[in-house]
């Protein structure tokens, strides 16, 4: 019997936050067994199918970052669907810390993450952390989109 099954929001939150060690270097090894082999992952910049490509993506993120922290602010689980609101605090090798705020919709199949859709404003959150550029970017966005 496969014991790597998600059964509660508390368990999922503990697994997710366990990705980030005390050194700040992320390691997905503890949570990857809870992902379905046919995982469909989508976010603002990519769509990935399968545990192999998903694992490769997690490794690339770890290699690019100097420090990475993931905070779950709110969450709810209803049957096989989990919604979480999160903050990812990341320091790339040459840049200061910045926060990216988002949410994720996670669909479980047989207790494993079969679908994960992350929603966030990558560029807005990054540009907000660049002195002087924030004002230009936000002004552009208001003029063009609202």
pLDDT recorded at residue 23: 59
Give the C-alpha separation, 102 to 122, whole Å.
9
Question: Per the confidence metrics, is the pTM higher than 0.85?
Answer: no
pLDDT recorded at residue 145: 66
Tell me: the pLDDT tens digits for 23-42?
Answer: 556 778 889 999 999 999 99
CB-based contacts of 14-20 (< 8 A; 24+ apart in sequence)? 16/70, 16/72, 16/84, 17/70, 17/71, 17/72, 19/70, 20/68, 20/69, 20/70
Instruction: Give me the residue spans of the domains in the chain.
Output: 9-120
State whether the Cα torsion 88-65-120-16 is positive or negative.
negative
Which CATH entry fits the domain spanning 9-120: 3.40.50.10810, 3.30.300.30, 3.10.450.50, 3.30.750.24? 3.10.450.50
Residue whose token pair is 């970017």: 137
Q: State the distance between the two ends of the chain, measured CA to CA, in whole angstroms.
A: 53
Residue whose token pair is 């919604």: 83
Please give the C-alpha separations between residue 130 and each of 42, 123, 124, 145, in angstroms, as whole numbers.
Answer: 27, 11, 10, 21
Tell me: the pLDDT tens digits for 61-90?
Answer: 877 777 778 889 999 999 999 999 999 887
């Amino acid at each position: 019997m496969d014991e790597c099954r998600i059964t509660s929001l508390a368990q999922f939150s503990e697994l997710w936050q366990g990705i980030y060690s005390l050194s700040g270097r992320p390691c997905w090894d503890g949570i990857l067994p809870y992902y379905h082999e046919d995982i469909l992952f989508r976010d603002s910049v990519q769509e990935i199918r399968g545990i192999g490509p998903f694992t490769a993506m997690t490794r690339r993120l770890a290699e690019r970052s100097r420090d990475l922290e993931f905070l779950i602010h709110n969450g709810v689980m209803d049957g096989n669907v989990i919604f979480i609101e999160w903050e990812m605090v990341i320091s790339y090798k040459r840049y200061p810390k910045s926060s990216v705020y988002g949410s994720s919709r996670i669909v479980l199949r047989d207790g494993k993450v079969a679908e994960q859709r992350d929603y966030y404003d990558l560029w807005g959150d990054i540009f907000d952390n660049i002195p002087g550029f924030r004002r230009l970017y936000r002004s552009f966005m208001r003029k063009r989109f609202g």
